[in-house]
Amino acid sequence: MTPFPFYIMIKEGFFVKESNDSLEAIYHDVQQQTKHHYAFVEMDIKFFLFFNAKYGNTYGEELLKKILQVMEAFLKGRGYIEQYFKDTFHFIVQYDKKSGNIEENILQGFLYELVDVLFENEILHAHQNLFVSFGIIPLHIIKNTSYEQLITMASVIRKNCPEINNRSFSYEIYEESLYCNYVEKQELAKRLTAARQQDEFEVFIQPKVNPLTNKIIAGEVLLRWKHANGMPLIEYLESLNEFKEIYLVDLMQFRKACEYLGEGLRNHQPRVPLSFNISNVTILDREFIKDYFQVVKETGVPSSYIEFEFLEDIKFQQDHRIYQIFDECHKAGFRCSLDDFGAGNSSFAFLLNGAIDCIKLDRIFFQGPLDEKRKQILLRLMQIAEASNVDVVAEGVEDEEYVTYLKEIHCEAIQGFYYYRPMPMHEFQALLDRQEKENI
């Protein structure tokens, strides 16, 4: 970190005298001030790599020098800046308190003006092409914080701003909850990695039932964490997906379920086809097909016992990749279904081109009273599926009136609490064993 001599000595709340003191020293001095408001800011140049890639590293170095000059001119008399690392800068700035709203004071006090100055710069290639992100800490709201911790806090909130990747300026103003949420999220990710390594995830299966016979005809494999300690499923699933850990976890569960299928079939035990959720993270992994097909080969499971469930919010921008995956699955004898159909971006293109074998109607269709409107929608969906030669599973069904109506319109598979909740693999097998005995 290289300190730049600037207006840093404080007299009656104003930066009035040049000094070579570091920004850290200024921070400690400012902390003693009570008359005026100050903010510590981490500023980063977005997409700076582009300038190096397009115009060369020499241009990039000159650009940073000119940005520093622009910042020095802007902060003259009210702040101090240091170039922290390459395209990341730290500065302390004084701003006026005109209202009780901290965000409004910061935006009106300096941020809007600074963004305009940076965006409208007169630097070659950077004019109206300079976008920055800010992590801002009003210094009056923190106490007894080391300078090193201050930098960490500013960096965390800046990098976790939802608009960080937008081609526009972005900012986040420090709140303790934002910082704590980040720490908690990383801690959960750490725990989940350890859970995967220690095999703490287990296979649960929810039966799919033919309502005409009340027999279990298939099951969906679901993920459960043994040591979730009451944490909602959605919370750790979101973490697994965000940090791309879901691919390895799902692959481990897939192997466990395939071993269960293979062993049972070899020993002439009752088994039914199982379906497996394929996340968007998995779809975009280049090793997906190879890894999953290898597991099937090693466990000796007939392909007819495997169905892959793709989420309805499948990445449509990867159309060529998705259809290639469907094609490879079908050539290998696996079934493909579209999960949560009707909840979001339902694509009838999949029905038209024969890419899928089954749609799973989302639970939204089965919540609330079964009025005439719902009946007609369900009937039309069944008719469309039949015309497309696609099977239908009604998912999330809990009420008898829906089961009765689904029978009337010839829906041949229901998955929901009306029949069974998800259960450990051994309990699922016990149901199959009992079902086979009843059929003898």
Domain count, the chain: 2
Write the pLDDT tens digit of every residue in 370-387.
Answer: 999 999 999 999 999 999
**Judgement on whether residues 267 and 334 belong to the same structural domain of the protein:** yes
For the chain, give the percent of residues with pLDDT over 90: 82
Asked if the structure places residue 241 within a domain, the reply is yes
pLDDT at 317: 47
Which amino acid, one-letter code, is at 243? F
pLDDT at 3: 37
319: confidence class by pLDDT, cuts 50, 70, 90 = low
Asked if the structure places residue 164 within a domain, the reply is yes
Pick from 123, 143, 174: which residue ends a domain? 174
With beta carbons less than 8 A apart as the criterion, state whether 98 and 108 touch. Answer: yes
Asked if the structure places residue 180 within a domain, the reply is no
| CATH number of the domain residue 134 falls in | 3.30.70.270
Q: Looking at the predicted structure, is the pLDDT value of residue 2 above 60? A: no
Structure tokens at 260: 């269960």
**Judgement on whether residues 169 and 308 belong to the same structural domain of the protein:** no
pLDDT at 234: 92
**Judgement on whether residues 169 and 209 belong to the same structural domain of the protein:** no
Asked if the structure places residue 192 within a domain, the reply is yes
**Judgement on whether residues 170 and 195 belong to the same structural domain of the protein:** no
**Judgement on whether residues 164 and 283 belong to the same structural domain of the protein:** no
Pick from 150, 174, 198: which residue ends a domain? 174
Q: How far is CA 269 from CA 24, 432, 437, in A?
A: 71, 9, 11
pLDDT at 384: 94
Write the pLDDT tens digit of every residue in 330-383.
Answer: 999 999 999 999 876 656 777 877 889 999 999 999 999 999 999 999 999 999
What is the domain extent for residue 165?
2-174
**Judgement on whether residues 365 and 394 belong to the same structural domain of the protein:** yes
With beta carbons less than 8 A apart as the criterion, state whether 201 and 195 touch. Answer: yes
pLDDT at 143: 85
Q: How many CA atoms lie within 13 A of 219 on its CB side?
A: 26
Q: Looking at the predicted structure, is the pLDDT value of residue 19 above 60? A: no
Which amino acid, one-letter code, is at 231? M
**Judgement on whether residues 130 and 255 belong to the same structural domain of the protein:** no
**Judgement on whether residues 200 and 72 belong to the same structural domain of the protein:** no
**Judgement on whether residues 113 and 227 belong to the same structural domain of the protein:** no
pLDDT at 347: 67
**Judgement on whether residues 192 and 149 belong to the same structural domain of the protein:** no
Asked if the structure places residue 22 within a domain, the reply is yes
Angle at 258 between CA 323 and CA 224, to 5 degrees: 90
**Judgement on whether residues 191 and 165 belong to the same structural domain of the protein:** no
Residue in the block written with tokens 């029905």: 351
Confidence (pTM): 0.84
**Judgement on whether residues 124 and 202 belong to the same structural domain of the protein:** no
| CATH number of the domain residue 394 falls in | 3.20.20.450
Pick from 151, 174, 197: which residue ends a domain? 174
